[in-house]
Amino acid sequence: MKRLFYTSNTMHYHKEDGKKVANAFDNHHHILEQLKARLYKNDHLLFICSNPDSHQINDEYARLLYEGLCLSNIPFKECHILDSRTSSYTNKYIDQADLIFLCGGDPYVQNEYFKSIHLKQLLKDYDGIIMGQSAGSINLADD
Average pLDDT value for the chain: 94
**How many Cβ atoms from other residues are within 10 Å of residue 37's Cβ?**
10
Instruction: Determine the average pLDDT of the residues in 95-102.
Output: 97
Rg (CA), the chain: 14
Pair 46, 33: CB distance under 8 Å? no
> Which of 124, 118, 114, 134 is CA-nearest to residue 12?
134
- Give CA–CA dist 69/80, Å, rounded: 14
| pLDDT reading at 38 higher than 60 | yes
Q: Is the distance from CB of 128 to CB of 99 less than 8 angstroms?
A: yes
Q: Kindly report the pTM of this predicted structure.
A: 0.94
d(C-alpha 54, C-alpha 77), whole Å: 24
- What's the mean pLDDT in 74-102? 97
Q: Is the dihedral of CA 83, 88, 91, 97 positive or negative?
A: negative
